[in-house]
Structure 1
Amino acid sequence: MPESKTNRIAIYVSAFIIIILILFALLRDNADAITLKQAKELLQNHNVEKVVATKKYVYLKTKKGYYKIPFSQVTPDMFADYKVEVDNESNILLYLLVFILVLGLGSLAFRKWQKKSLKEIFTVSESKNNTDFSPSEGNTHIEAIKSDVSFNDIGGISDVKVELEEIIDFMKNPKRYKSFGARMPKGVLLIGPPGVGKTMIAKAVAHEAGVPFYYQSGASFVQIYVGMGAKRVHELFAAAKKNAPSIIFIDEIDAVGKKRDGNRNDEREATLNQLLTEMDGFEGSSGVIVIAATNKIDVLDAALLRAGRFDRRVFVELPTKREREAILIKYLEKIPHELDVKIVANMTVGFNGAALATLVNEAALLALRQNDFRVTLEHFEQVKDKVIFGKKKLQMLNERQKAFRATYQAGKVMVATYYDITFEKLMLSNEKLTPATDEPFIKQELESRVKMLLAGIAACDIKYNEHASSAKDDLDEAKKLVKKMCEEYGMCSSLLPDKKEQELLLKRLYEESRALLESLLKVLEKIEYVLLERESISKTEVKEYLNEVF
């Protein structure tokens, strides 16, 4: 809740309490209790000026003060010489409370009507000043988001957490840093591939610091109307400063923060200029920190990255094996399961946090469809390829096509197992064995992968002297990988190779893959048989067949 609104409510509550205390002081019963004997003496001596009777007490007013005696102790004869007034003590208090309540509600209704009238006047005035093409988006009110994500909800970010703990501590204890003469960075840039949890990390920082969280995507600033993107940036920073300390999170900042070429002055550049101006306008005591996320830091404008704006850069990489274990444990907390998380972490190389969440969810849904009480490793193996490649409609293969596919897949899975390429299980219907990753490889690892990609073609050429058109994807990937090895990685005979060297390398790797398959034809036949019967085979089974030969 904004601070101004909180203060207003506190004032109203305080005023109400003060009024109640005043009424209590005025209306409380301050008469002294006396005995029947004392009351008779006052009445007989004619010291009583006024007699008031209520349901509980009879009140005697004298020059010295007020006295009361319980109504049950007196008789009417005692007041024969006096005029007794009958009063209902609750009526006065009740009427006053009703009056105060009506007065308070009436004043609140009047203030609300007054604000509404002023808003309508300003809206009409603004619509007159603007053209008919003014977008409605410019009038949106920016509200803070209450973050319910904590660092405990995110697994595998221990390194990132250390980097951001200083910011959390600064927002909780700013005097500690100011007294030491230190200042925290105005901006933090989270850099990493999609799906690694950059938005969740920013929300966790806001939650741990206990401050308002303002979320905007970079694309929301890009407007087709002149000046609207800059206006939205100004409104965002104004709202954050008003409710400081607070955090502004700009997702996909590259949408608005791309490099300026100087040849044009379009709306995007005007919005970027406004963003730069707002970040320069931060005061040391503003208490606002900007966190932005991008997966394309190379396209960001240099002015955005200079010191004084995004001072700190935090790289959020794909999770390691240990981090994948931590993430999986978090997602499996509320799901009944019976599996070793380490095995699932081993089979999910290259998965980001979002992919792991989808994998766990798909496995749980599959378990429910199959009426299983627990999620097992088998469920994960069945949905893994669906998460990586997506669900495709299975082709209807005739017997000859199915035989070609079995041979093709048998060649790939045997070479992949021989060179220990990461995978857990191969399905007959899969077009790919494992997803490509951007991890650095040595030359031998890259050559092994190319051999695996060409192994299906080699196996079909050995058995049928021809192969199917479904080999296109693997062949394209093999060519692309060989091209990178020669042109980008310098892994050919010279650092400046020609196209002929690529052809020679591709041909050599194909021949080596074919030679390996020809030396293990019996193992290849066993794998084909399993694929035709079960339409799937695991890496463990292929290893057993290879161990029988070696």
Structure 2
Amino acid sequence: MKATAQDFRSKLFDKKNLKIILTLSGLVVLLLAYTALRDTDTLITHKQANILYSKDKIKKVIVDGDYIHLKTDGGNYKIYKNAINTAAFFSKYPVEVKEDKGYIFDLLLLLILLGSIGYLFRMMKVNRLQQLRQIRGAREENAEIYEPVQALKSNVTFKDVAGIKDVKEELEEIIDFLREPQKYRDMDIRLPKGVLLVGPPGVGKTLISKAVAGEAGVPFFYQSGASFVHIYVGMGAKRVSELFKKAKQMAPSIIFIDEIDAVGKSRGEFRNDEREATLNQLLTEMDGFEESSGVIVIGATNKIDVLDEALLRAGRFDRRIHISLPDLEDRMKILELYLAHKPNNVDIESVARMTVGFNSAALDTLTNEAAIYAMREGRKVVENSDFEAVKEKVLLGKRKILSFTEEERKIQAVYQGAKAVVATWLDVEFEKIGIVTTRLSVQEHEILSRSKLINRIKVYLAGSIATKLHYNEQFNNAGTDIRQAKELLNKVIYDYWMSEDFIVNPHKEEELMREMVSEVTDLLKKLGKALSDVSEYLLQHENIDQEACRKILLEIF
């Protein structure tokens, strides 16, 4: 109702302004018209005036400033008074002297101009006051919405989260610290202030952080990164300050910032004062943590590459935990968890195999849709056929989810298996290579040899070369790897100048690429048996680490 009344007043004010502007415009037009129509006499020359004088057609002479107006029966004329013998005209015809009142017109125009300027200044002042009232009202409204940060009590534990065995191990000591901080203080042990969960959407980053809080039995403060970004500079920073203040008061506690990239993007060319102020406050708060404050910040993102370097340096988000899409074993555990309270007769392994690339959120949706389908069909038990019936529906709603046919799984197994074999053979370290993921170890060394960089490029090329050897065909799954290979090769040639005689040109780049393709082709032909075994391993387990791949190679060679 308040907004409606305000809108009405605004419209009424606008109508009033419009009437005033139209009135002033009308007056100006009338004055200009009066100026144009005030003097319509025809201007004539000295010769024409003498003709009128000699023919005695002039009835009256009017003196008006610098002009002499001649009134005749055939019309009215005017001539500049110094152009004729005025004495002759004045002695022959009746003369009228017109008082010059042009100053009145000029004064009126000046008054109208000054009034218009004053009115415009008044309008500007009124508009400024209205803007200030709106800003004040928005701040008050924001303050009403901006409720104090509330701590949550998490009822989620690791029993409610399946398929994250590696992540659990990483977080165990964090949980232990939150449970018994004094034990660590006695040993003068400092745990990370921040933990960054990195992974694609839907893998359960928020759920994992709630489970950590639930396992430790500590207060849980949840905030979205976007909630810190306000249109008014300083509001986000204030919210960050209050969040950390509350968390310290209730320590030990956990602060979870979801989608932290919304506020933690790199500070660069395109400035955003509010976001930068908020990020600076976040950095300050993390630096200001007392070593024994008992507050741990957990951030979640799927865009670690856009985060500001200051946020990732030691002393802030020291620990990073990568959460991949669940593999076969993980999916089986997740499905088992989601089906625990649903009457079912499901072959969980079969369903897990047909859901390659599904994240935990997608598996939750799939399980729920399968149960709905079974109920719609009049059955009280969920079966495999229900999952098959709704799989396409879930896929259409989850475009980013990969789903392979059996033939595509075999192609992808050969492709990824070749990368694992070549990486192991060439000592390129990797954490895990799966049917849908490749996690090569991050190169943290400042100085890298040419051979190490070349070997890394060969790993990127291996999958495409292997599928071409095996199927005599190329596939579109190689796009990302080929792009990475070319980008790294470009750096080797043009940024690092790693070519013979330091000669840089496109010919060197092409020559080196052909040389690497030839070497990888020969290597894969030599390691054909190992590639076959690794591909089969991937079909069975969907993931392979470097140790398992090394064992397969050792058995053959």
Q: Does 1:247 pair with 2:254?
A: yes
Q: Distance in 2 between matches of 1:266 and 1:478?
A: 41
**Letter of the 1:162 counterpart:** E
Q: What residue number does 1:267 align with?
A: 274
Q: Does 1:320 pair with 2:327?
A: yes
Are 1:146 and 1:212, in contact at CA under 8 Å, matched by a contact in 2? yes
Q: Does 1:185 pair with 2:192?
A: yes
Are 2:197 and 2:300, in contact at CA under 8 Å, matched by a contact in 1? yes
Q: Distance in 1 between matches of 2:242 and 2:215?
A: 25
**Letter of the 1:331 counterpart:** Y
Indicate which of 132, 139, 152 corresponds to 1:134.
139
Q: Distance in 2 between matches of 1:155 and 1:368?
A: 26
Q: Distance in 1 between matches of 2:398 and 2:174?
A: 43
Q: What residue number does 2:243 align with?
A: 236
Are 1:416 and 1:452, in contact at CA under 8 Å, matched by a contact in 2? no
Indicate which of 276, 282, 290 corresponds to 2:297.
290
Are 1:240 and 1:247, in contact at CA under 8 Å, matched by a contact in 2? yes
CA 1:391–1:273: 2 relative to 1, 3 Å: closer
Give the deviation of 1:257 after TM superposition.
Answer: 0.3
Q: What residue number does 2:103 align with?
A: none
Q: What residue number does 2:3 align with?
A: none
SS in 2 for 1:165: helix
Are 1:487 and 1:496, in contact at CA under 8 Å, matched by a contact in 2? no
Q: Does 1:156 pair with 2:160?
A: no
SS in 1 for 2:264: coil
CA 1:144–1:417: 2 relative to 1, 3 Å: closer
TM-score, structure 1 as length reference = 0.52
SS in 2 for 1:207: helix
**Letter of the 1:313 counterpart:** R
**Letter of the 1:300 counterpart:** L
Give the deviation of 1:226 after TM superposition.
Answer: 1.3
CA 1:373–1:179: 2 relative to 1, 3 Å: same
CA 1:260–1:369: 2 relative to 1, 3 Å: same
Q: What residue number does 1:352 align with?
A: 359
Give the deviation of 1:378 after TM superposition.
Answer: 1.4
Are 1:222 and 1:268, in contact at CA under 8 Å, matched by a contact in 2? yes
Are 2:160 and 2:337, in contact at CA under 8 Å, matched by a contact in 1? yes
Give the deviation of 1:302 after TM superposition.
Answer: 1.0
Are 1:223 and 1:229, in contact at CA under 8 Å, matched by a contact in 2? yes
User: Structure 2: any 5+ residue segments left out of the alignment?
Assistant: 1-131, 415-434, 440-458, 490-506, 515-557
Q: What residue number does 1:227 align with?
A: 234
Give the deviation of 1:421 after TM superposition.
Answer: 7.4
Q: Distance in 2 between matches of 1:179 and 1:418?
A: 54
Counterparts of 1:46-85 in structure 2, within 5 Å, are none
Give the deviation of 1:339 after TM superposition.
Answer: 2.1
Encode CA deviations 1:326-362: one digit per residue, 9 max, x unaligned: 1111001011111221111111111111111111111
SS in 1 for 2:230: coil
Q: What residue number does 2:370 align with?
A: 363
Give the deviation of 1:483 after TM superposition.
Answer: 6.5
CA 1:154–1:418: 2 relative to 1, 3 Å: closer
User: Structure 1: any 5+ residue segments left out of the alignment?
Assistant: 1-126, 393-411, 423-435, 456-473, 502-550
Counterparts of 1:469-548 in structure 2, within 5 Å, are 484=483, 487=486, 496=509
Are 1:218 and 1:255, in contact at CA under 8 Å, matched by a contact in 2? yes
Q: What residue number does 2:384 align with?
A: 377
Q: Distance in 1 between matches of 2:394 and 2:205?
A: 21
Q: What residue number does 1:194 align with?
A: 201
- Measured on the aligned residues, the alpha-carbon RMSD in Å equals 4.0
Q: Distance in 1 between matches of 2:375 and 2:167?
A: 36
Are 2:194 and 2:299, in contact at CA under 8 Å, matched by a contact in 1? yes
**Letter of the 1:254 counterpart:** D
Q: Does 1:334 pair with 2:341?
A: yes
CA 1:376–1:442: 2 relative to 1, 3 Å: farther
Encode CA deviations 1:112-159: one digit per residue, 9 max, x unaligned: xxxxxxxxxxxxxxx99x834415334412111121111011111111
Are 1:144 and 1:214, in contact at CA under 8 Å, matched by a contact in 2? yes
Give the deviation of 1:309 after TM superposition.
Answer: 1.1
Give the deviation of 1:262 after TM superposition.
Answer: 6.2
Which stretch of structure 1 is more off in the superposition, 337-346 or 213-222? 337-346
Which stretch of structure 1 is more off in the superposition, 372-381 or 298-307? 372-381
Encode CA deviations 1:212-249: one digit per residue, 9 max, x unaligned: 11100000001111111111111111111122221110
TM-score, structure 2 as length reference = 0.51
Give the deviation of 1:324 after TM superposition.
Answer: 1.1
Higher Rg of the two aligned structures: 2
Q: Distance in 1 between matches of 2:309 and 2:286?
A: 14
Q: Distance in 2 between matches of 1:420 and 1:264?
A: 43
CA 1:448–1:485: 2 relative to 1, 3 Å: farther
SS in 2 for 1:214: strand
Q: Distance in 1 between matches of 2:221 and 2:410?
A: 52
Give the deviation of 1:251 after TM superposition.
Answer: 0.3
Q: Distance in 2 between matches of 1:295 and 1:244?
A: 28
Are 1:454 and 1:478, in contact at CA under 8 Å, matched by a contact in 2? no
**Letter of the 1:352 counterpart:** N
Q: Does 1:256 pair with 2:293?
A: no
Q: Distance in 1 between matches of 2:216 and 2:370?
A: 35
Which stretch of structure 1 is more off in the superposition, 442-451 or 250-259? 442-451
Indicate which of 311, 336, 359 corresponds to 1:304.
311
Q: What residue number does 2:212 align with?
A: 205
Q: What residue number does 1:461 align with?
A: none
**Letter of the 2:180 counterpart:** N
Are 2:463 and 2:478, in contact at CA under 8 Å, matched by a contact in 1? no
Q: What residue number does 1:543 align with?
A: none
Give the deviation of 1:285 after TM superposition.
Answer: 2.6
Q: What residue number does 1:526 align with?
A: none
Give the deviation of 1:184 after TM superposition.
Answer: 1.5
Give the deviation of 1:489 after TM superposition.
Answer: 9.4
Q: What residue number does 1:539 align with?
A: none
Encode CA deviations 1:296-345: one digit per residue, 9 max, x unaligned: 11111111111111121111111121111111110010111112211111
Q: Does 1:146 pair with 2:153?
A: yes
Which stretch of structure 1 is more off in the superposition, 477-486 or 446-455? 446-455
Q: What residue number does 2:42 align with?
A: none
Q: Distance in 1 between matches of 2:219 and 2:409?
A: 52
Q: What residue number does 2:221 align with?
A: 214
